[in-house]
Chains A and B, each alone.
Chain A
Amino acid sequence: MKIFINGQSAISPQETFTGNSLPDNPVNYSANGFIKCIEPSVREYIDPMTARRMSRIIRFGVCSAIQCLRNADAGNPGAIITGTGLGCLDDTEKFLRTMHNNEEKLLNPTPFIQSTHNTLSSAIAIIIGCNSYNSTYVHRGGSFENALTDAILLLRENSAENVLVGGVDELTDTSFNITSRLGFWKREPVESLRLLDYKGRGSLAGEGMTFFLLSNVKNERSFAVTEMPELFHKPADAAASEEKIRSFISRTCQEGSIDLVLMGLNGDISNDEIYHNLSGRLFSGIPRAYYKHLCGEYDTSSAFAMFIAAEIIRNQTVPRVMQLDGGPAGKIRNVLIYNHQRNNIHSLMLLSGC
């Protein structure tokens, strides 16, 4: 069964939400360790009273989800599934802070209510009035892939005809500060588009809210096809990773038919070394591209990668700023997305034209 992408939407540090879906002239940030999303015009999606009570991740997430449904021209979906590595951080922090400061007394329940990881999936359901299947995956760098797996499984089961699936994560001052202490980010200011030029430790923190409307029925809006993604965990060595990637490729497409590999290079040398090593073994002669200089590093950045890959297929062009070693010469049919999180969770996705 083929799984079609009938609509998508991304709120990101790029202008992906406001018409420039494939950033050929991207925003170049002078970044002190992080880049943040460009704010959507919330009032076009949520009434101001409701929006005021929502934290940023919920507001932006709902906007992105609704825009995705509009782009797909779909009614209520047969399921709503999100993946988020860290969930509603802002509300979690808010509640923790007042809990400690007020010594557990006189607490406002709102941040607690909105701190649960499933807040976004259910907020979307409440706003659009959708009683269908609803779930939330929260497994670090595999959160979006878990959600995507569930979505495709539902479509294959014929439990749903349309599934809204997304990957969302927010960056807060606190989470940035704590992860900086853990050494995740570059300490010196960087120009975001030149992320790979700064050899050394650390990446650039980011965030995003990306949604897809997937369907097991092709219609006039369908523009790409996605295969069942695959995650693998803590590979023993490069050879083990190589074997996993080879078997994924042979399961999802014909040998030699990959036109582009979109990789999760993030500017941290120990992280990027893994991609470079495997490229030699697996992707020689195949054009490669990267995306994290556009969206930053976060748990569900692979959802942004899938968005970009689908736009590349739709537009049949790879923006120069994403190319690692020149763009594909001919038609772009199959795009492999390969991402990993600190060599613990490796993710493979394959998108094709339809």
Chain B
Amino acid sequence: MSVAVRVFVTGIGIISSIGFNCEETEDSLKSGKTGIGTMKNLVSVHSGEIPVAEVPASNEELEDLARIRKTGYSSRTTLLGIIAAGEALRCSGLDEDIGSFRTGLISATTVGGMDRSEKFFKSYIQHKSGGRLRYIVTHDCGDSTAAIADTFGIRDHVSTISTACSSSANAILTGARLIKGGLLDRVIAGGTDALSLFTLNGFNSLMILDKKGCRPFDEDRNGLTLGEGSAFIVMESETVTARIGKKLLCEVSGYGNACDAYHQTASSPEGGGAYLSMKQALHCSGLTPDMIDYINAHGTGTKNNDLSEGRAIERLFGYLPVKFSSTKAFTGHTLGAAGAVEAVLGIMAIRNGWIYPNPGFARQMSELRITPEKKLIRNTRIRNLMSNSFGFGGNNTSLIFSEC
């Protein structure tokens, strides 16, 4: 490529257990309010014993928030996605005019319409003719993406990524690359995942759900806490932003994607894939480790992830006084949405000059020398922020956002 095209973020939108929109999310982060609690919407035999980070609204209430015609047939994943993508588009001033540049939507999800399919399946396994078909047609991962694209009239490029817990980080990475490669001018990228019995029981069968709520990077951590939510960012090429004089929130300055290639669910003890993805992101951005002012870690709270990620951070950043934390104890682990949720939190951190604390942390991990932040730091300057998302199958992605 001849001249590198710069890619800027001009809009953000988010919905999670700590807020229905950006403003509420910032308030929760400021006041230290976490979204982890008892299940209210999801109905499970585990409801009393396993905490989750639910969006505190029924599907019907979400339909109102999504400003769509009430049918009762959309999956929760779709509704969350429409809400967050809608906010990102309004934030970028695009809700009125989306057609003027080559615009793409890249969404990510791991469960898709599973909240509906598992209802269908319950009847289906009784009898092959059982189950309402309206509950199964939203099963595939493309369904929520197609619904978002239809709602906002996006036609030029529509795609869906599913790389487990790094899915939406890869949506952002791919979106930035499509702009840099000259294929699109503007991309709405992010992800959406609703809580489902499928994922709750899946992670529970792996025995990696912490019954006390997740405690990332804590010596006594005992697993993750599942969350749900959606977040999207609007990225535009500098040609577009310059031409229409857009307000810029930050720059997408680097990204790296590498595969741990170690095990389907476990990460390598030394965090080989994590190290590679962070290193590639730095290389892509042309930055050196000392220029990263804050790392929003993947930090799920599982024994395995936090150790390998911590070691990879130490290996790459040496023993620089690097500031890092995991925000998973705020939002829960929102799976396919996590990369975008944390990208939006990261962009808020850059805009507000914040470094987030790491709720759940009490005791230093014996294997690590680095320590996550304990309190919210305000009025600090974040020139560059790294956001990590690591998934099952060793699908690791790191993003770098920079002030502008």
Contacts and interface: CB of A to CB of B under 8 A. Distances in A.
A234 interface: yes
B201 A135 contact: no
B99 interface: no
A131 B272 contact: yes
Interface stretch (B116-124, B228-236, B311-319): B116-124
B140 A85 contact: yes
B129 interface: yes
Interface in B127-186: 128-129, 133, 136-137, 140-142, 145-146, 149-150, 155, 157-164, 170, 174, 177-178, 180-181, 183
Contacts of B265: 113
Interface residues of A, number: 62
B125 A139 contact: no
Given A85-B140, A112-B206, A137 B161 contact: yes
Contacts of B142: 85, 138-140, 142-143
Contact of B181 (A85, A118, A134, A157): A157
Contacts of A331: none
Contacts of B136: 178
Nearest to A121: B393
A95 B146 contact: no
B257 interface: yes
Nearest to B110: A116
A100 B126 CA distance: 10
A118 B140 contact: no
Given A109-B205, A122-B392, A139-B159, A133 B261 contact: no
Contact of A86 (B46, B140, B155): B140
Contacts of B117: 96
B158 A233 contact: yes
A96 B198 contact: yes
Interface in B278-313: none
Nearest to B157: A231
Contacts of B1: 156-157
B273 interface: yes
A107 B141 contact: no
Given A134-B163, A140-B146, A233-B149, A122 B201 contact: no
A250 interface: no
A97 B126 CA distance: 10
A187 to B, nearest CB: 15
Contacts, number: 189
Interface in A94-150: 95-97, 99-101, 103-105, 107-109, 112-119, 121-123, 125-126, 129-140, 142-143, 146, 149-150
A181 B129 contact: yes
Contacts of B146: 140, 344
B197 interface: yes
B8 to A, nearest CB: 19
Contacts of A142: 142, 158-159
Given A112-B198, A156-B181, 18 more contacts: A96-B118, A112-B202, A112-B206, A116-B393, A121-B259, A121-B395, A122-B394, A125-B261, A126-B261, A135-B163, A137-B160, A138-B140, A138-B141, A143-B142, A153-B177, A157-B180, A178-B133, A231-B158
8 contacts: A85-B140, A121-B259, A122-B261, A132-B258, A134-B163, A136-B395, A143-B142, A178-B124
Interface of B: 1, 44-46, 109-110, 112, 117-118, 121-122, 124-125, 128-129, 133, 136-137, 140-142, 145-146, 149-150, 155, 157-164, 170, 174, 177-178, 180-181, 183, 197-198, 201-202, 204-206, 257-265, 272-273, 276, 391-395
| 7 interchain residue pairs of minimum CB distance | A122-B393, A112-B202, A134-B259, A117-B162, A140-B142, A109-B205, A138-B141
